[in-house]
Amino acid sequence: MFQISLKGFLNKLDLQKEKAKDYRNVVLTQIVIIVLGLLLYEPLLEDSKSDISKLIITILSSSGAIYAFLLWDLLRNFTSNKVLIMVILIVLSIIVIAGVLAEFPYYQIIQVSDRQTYLLILHGFLFPIEITVIGFAIRDMFSAGSITSDKLWGAACVFLMVGISFGSLYDLICIARPGSLGIAIELGLPNYSECVTYSFSVLGGVDSDLKPTKFIKSISIIESIWGVLYAMLIIGKLLGLPRLENENKN
């Protein structure tokens, strides 16, 4: 009986370490995307066809592709549904391949006649995947247990993921109705970068100086409330959980 319990405890620790590693990888990638996006997106607004803009697009697109598959890898910790895992992997692979073929800055392998519809479809498939991972991660965050490194990394991961996901939502709206953010920006990575910047301005309580449509303003209010509510709930939840070492002693 003791050996069985010990084996189960070790498996639980291994799962927590694996989940913490996956959370950490996602968070680090998120930080890279956010920091580079905030610091380097200005050349994209000025001229997305310049050499420096092409380099920035390549770097950010590569980071985005890595981030997408890290989200898929993280999802595998939350569900054993092989169909869901496989479908999301296939969809993400199609999104990445289609994006590279049509949006590679140095050479476009395929020409898209209706770029607006093309971007709408790609982002329309990506956004639900982000929401799915967020849903599983939040459920994991508020599940019973003790304070462990995976929950701490998970708290940071979900917060940053929500900011990026709201940016994706704003981008979707702008693709469907260009100019919804209040300024005319080229669709694609320039507009997406501006949308993510706006999203984190909302979460951080910083004035973005933009004048978006009422629809985006309404969504940004929801995002702002979410940010405050999430901080309150996650702090209360983590403070209320026992530490792992105390749980082991009991």
The answer to whether position 156 is within a domain reads: yes
Higher pLDDT, 86 or 233: 86
- Residue 161 belongs to what domain range? 18-242
Q: Tell me the per-residue pLDDT of 152-199, one tens digit each, with 9 for 90 and over.
A: 788 888 889 999 999 999 999 999 998 898 888 888 888 888 899 899
Position 129 pLDDT exceeds 60 = yes
Distance of CA 125 to the CA centre of its chain: 14
The answer to whether position 7 is within a domain reads: no
The answer to whether position 155 is within a domain reads: yes
Position 8 pLDDT exceeds 90 = no
The answer to whether position 42 is within a domain reads: yes
CA distance 221 to 205: 11
Total of domains in the chain: 1
**What Cα–Cα distance (Å) separates residue 195 from each residue in 59, 169, 181, 214?**
18, 8, 8, 15
**Predicted pLDDT at 184:** 83
**Predicted pLDDT at 240:** 61
Percent of the chain residues topping a pLDDT of 90: 26
Give yes or no for a contact between 122 and 187, defined as CB atoms under 8 angstroms apart.
Answer: no
Side-chain-side CA neighbours of 182 within 13 Å: the count stands at: 13
Position 28 pLDDT exceeds 50 = yes
Tell me which of 82-91, 106-115, 146-155, 168-177 is least confident: 146-155
**Stretch 213-229: mean pLDDT, rounded?**
90
Among residues 248, 164, 177, which one has the least CA distance to residue 212? Answer: 177
The answer to whether position 11 is within a domain reads: no
The answer to whether position 248 is within a domain reads: no
Tell me which of 94-98, 121-125, 151-155 is least confident: 151-155
The answer to whether position 58 is within a domain reads: yes
Total number of residues shown for the chain:
250
The answer to whether position 72 is within a domain reads: yes
**Predicted pLDDT at 3:** 42
pTM, 2 dp: 0.84
**Predicted pLDDT at 246:** 47
